[in-house]
Amino acid sequence: MMISPACLFWGAATMESVNFTKSVDRESFQLLSETIAGFNGVASKLESYYRNLEQRVKHLTLELDEKNRELVQNLREKEEFKNYLHNILESLTTGVVVLDLEGRITTFNRAAEMITGLGAADMSGCRFDRTPASGIFSRLTENRGSSNDITEDLEVETEIQRGHNDTLHVRISTFPVKDPAGRKIGTAITLQDITRLKRLEEKVNRRDRLAAMGEMAAEIAHEIRNPLGSIELFATTLKKDLSDSPELQRLVEHISRSVRKMNNSISNLLMFIRPHQRPCFRIKDIHGPLTNALLFSSDLLKSDNPVEVVTHYATEPLTARIDPDLLQQALLNLILNALQAMPRGGELRISTTRRIHPRSGSGVAEIQIRDSGSGVCEKNLARIFDPFFTTKKKGTGLGLAIVHNILSIHGGDIDVESFPEQGTLCTVTIPLWEEDNGTS
């Protein structure tokens, strides 16, 4: 069988094509293998990077959570500190008002409310010069255009009228508020209620005046009393010698009455200086002397213009270390003053109670005697305890001075408030006897 050359050529060509294909497949496979190997390497690197990134994200998440917890804690601590400072500010007995640079009120604490009688809710955010408070602080800006012109510490004393009968003495201080760099960022104003301090000063001054007047009065009283005794003795002798002359006896009797009247005035004067007897202290209920004082004034209570007496006594005994006679005399003087203040009749209220003294913290018996008379004007109220000061035509001006001295002997005190056309209130306090330690 003969094979044609064409067939031989085709067969050779076919074998060559197969060999070429095999060669191409090997190269493609090798390239594919190298590509897969490269991809696997990149994938491995990406996986490693991803794991590292995942660890980093986890670490950052933990750090972020920690920072968030710290931030929350810091915010909580700052809020607690803010509330703590706010509570301190609200608990102060000193009023605090703070203004910003525009003169708007940013702080108005509870004490400022109580002193001024104004509400913080109504004041906060308002311009200071357009509020009722601006009148209270007007003395601060007398020589300045406004509160913003205050560049140094200032201090003034003024009176604040709260209601018809409520007047407070207030010390107002002001100073600029500055930041750490020394720049002014506002103005702070403080208010101190010094009403009680003023009253204490008045009492100290009163005692000083009484002591000075007492020393002088004692010398004058003794100088006058000695010749009065001689006049009384001579008048008595002369009266006996003029038994046959009734007209002359009446003149001598007039001299004797005048001498006795002068002697009585001097006795009151000496009573103002010191009691006529040494105090005889006993542990007694103060209601006993009070009841007796009312009994002795019963005649005036039944006069043409009767006075209605309203009593409200403590249900428990108010036991104190007292001289019953001296305390009765002091209370009788106060009751008589109250009755004389109501010549056309009225109402006399007397009450007793136990309370705690605000300064000493110990128990005291409080006696309040209030009349419905015309009251005492403010100018005279400051002088009612001065010896010889009186607004009565026949008064000696020693009644309240004697009351003051008797209460001082008992370690007590007296405070008088007057309300125009509404009457006068006398408040007497006497230390209670403490049975636990045997002291008063």
pLDDT of res. 353:
94
Specify the pLDDT at position 133.
61
Torsion of CA 265, 267, 269, 272, to 10 degrees: -140
For residue 419, pLDDT over 70 is answered with yes
pLDDT digits (tens, 9 = 90+) for 118-167: 878 777 777 776 766 666 666 555 544 455 555 566 777 777 776 656 67
Following DSSP, what letter does each residue of 252-283 receive, concatenated? HHHHHHHHHHHHHHHHHHHHHHS-SS----EE
Compute the mean pLDDT over every residue in the chain, rounded to the nearest whole number. 77
**What tokens were used for 278?**
């040494």
Domain ranges of the chain: 32-91, 95-193, 207-273, 282-431
pLDDT number for residue 367: 95
- Ranking 65-79, 250-264, 331-345 by mean pLDDT, the lowest is 250-264
At 362, is the secondary structure helix, strand, or coil?
Answer: coil
282-431: CATH topology is Heat Shock Protein 90 (3.30.565)
Give the pLDDT score at 89: 82
CATH fold label, 95-193: Beta-Lactamase (3.30.450)
**According to the 3-state scheme, what is the secondary structure of 16-52?**
HHHHHHHHHHHHHHHHHHHHHHHHHHHHHHHHHHHHH
What's the pLDDT score for residue 271? 59
Question: Looking at residue 392, what is its pLDDT?
Answer: 66
Confidence of residue 8 (pLDDT cuts 50, 70, 90): very low
Q: Give the DSSP per-residue string, 382-421.
A: TTTTSTT--SSTT--S-HHHHHHHHHHHTT-EEEEEEETT
pLDDT of residue 302: 64
Residue 352 in this model has a pLDDT that exceeds 90 = yes
* Host H or E run for residue 102: none
